[in-house]
Amino acid sequence: MKKRKTAGLGILLGMTALLFCGCKEKEIPEKLHVGITYYDQSDTYMNELIGSIKESLKETENDKLEVTVTIRDAAGLQKNQNDQVEELLDEGCNILCVNLVDRADPSEIIDFAREREVPIIFFNREPVAEDLHQWDKLYYVGADAKQSGKLQGELAVDLIKENSQIDKNKDGKIQYVVLEGEMGHQDAIIRTENAVNTLKENGIEVEKLSCKIANWKRAQAQNRMEQIIGEYQNKIELVLSNNDEMALGAVDAYKKLNYTSAALPVFLGIDGTEIGLQAVEDGELWGTVYNDKKGQADAIAKLATALITGEGMEDISFKNERYVYLPYYKVTAENLAEFRQGTFVTK
């Protein structure tokens, strides 16, 4: 009797083992649960970038990898974002993508993630190097601010050299105005500096009339530009804007004041948002510099996948071990279609 019981148990165990092996052969997909929080949903370019990130993450899904994405808007407050990170971790996110509100204040977020061993991919708002070195599971994906300024400067140089009409008062100098993004953002001061230096290095004499901060926003830029026009009237020959939204705000200011098109300065933006590209097509912006959202999104998705599956890390080209920078591209009416269709050739 006793023997039979043991035999029965043996068969049962054997069957369980078979069942278990059977399951294993089928392979349970790994789970990538990405928690994204970004600084402010009122930012036009950020919304386009977040859309691309969502798309790229979904594209990485296959039978071996199940992908879930949760997105939070920090509405301009670092405190909100810190709370959101805690919630995302509680919900079981195993990768965090953080677009910091305050790029100088990531410590609390880093501590939360580190406690749970969840890697962070910071994006678009670059933390200072010291912070990125707080832990070896911290990464950054973005674009090189210096390059965007340089390319904007080159667009201006080419136009000024080809077209003597830009120097409206024929004094041999280009009177310019700058509309700057947020104070302390890597894409603000660095873009301005490099755009202006590129003009000077290419032998263009320039005179700065005004530089005002408009926090990436169209309405704020319109308001600042109205003040600047009030002060300088027809003297303005070139508007260098740190992004498309503010460049369009400047255009709005001139429209409101009923300027004729012959009296307008040249407007240059950065980003190549949908509305920015449309404005290049319509001739409202002379050009823009494409901030490759799909390229950055693909890089984020690739890195997130590699961190979870342990595969593909060697295909990612890092700078300083944990930074990935995507290139910018010059856009004018000539090559606009490539950016609309996403067929531009990546470097």
Q: In this structure, which amino acid lies at residue 328?
A: Y
Q: Work out what residue 43 binds among Ca ion, ligand GAL, none; the CB cut-off runs from 5 to 8 Å by kind.
A: ligand GAL
Give how far Cα 191 sits from Cα of 11, 27, 155, 271, Å: 72, 49, 13, 12
Tell me how far apart the alpha carbons of residues 233 and 330 are, in angstroms, rounded to a whole number: 29
Q: Which stretch binds ligand GAL (CB under 6 A): 39-47, 84-92, 254-262, 294-302?
A: 39-47
122, 216, 286, 328: which one binds ligand GAL (CB under 6 A): 216
CA atoms within 13 A on the CB side of 10: 6
Q: Work out what residue 169 binds among ligand GAL, Ca ion, none; the CB cut-off runs from 5 to 8 Å by kind.
A: Ca ion
Q: Work out what residue 52 binds among Ca ion, ligand GAL, none; the CB cut-off runs from 5 to 8 Å by kind.
A: none
Q: In this structure, which amino acid lies at residue 238?
A: L
* Binding of ligand GAL by 126 (CB under 6 A): no
Q: Work out what residue 171 binds among Ca ion, ligand GAL, none; the CB cut-off runs from 5 to 8 Å by kind.
A: Ca ion
Tell me how far apart the alpha carbons of residues 161 and 164 are, in angstroms, rounded to a whole number: 7
Q: Map the footprint of Ca ion across residues 165-184, applying CB under 5 A.
A: 167, 169, 171, 173, 175
Q: Which stretch binds ligand GAL (CB under 6 A): 15-23, 42-50, 75-83, 292-300?
A: 42-50
* Binding of ligand GAL by 243 (CB under 6 A): yes
Q: Among 42, 109, 101, 103, which residue's Cα sits nearest to residue 74?
A: 101
For the chain, state the CA radius of gyration: 26
**DSSP SS3 for 129:** helix
Q: In this structure, which amino acid lies at residue 6?
A: T
Q: How far is the CB of 256 from ligand GAL (least distance, A)?
A: 22
Q: How far is the CB of 41 from ligand GAL (least distance, A)?
A: 11
* Binding of ligand GAL by 73 (CB under 6 A): no
- Using Cβ positions, the residue closest to Ca ion within the complex turns out to be 167
Question: How many other CB atoms are there within 10 angstroms of residue 120's CB atom?
Answer: 25
Tell me which residues touch Ca ion (CB under 5 A): 167, 169, 171, 173, 175
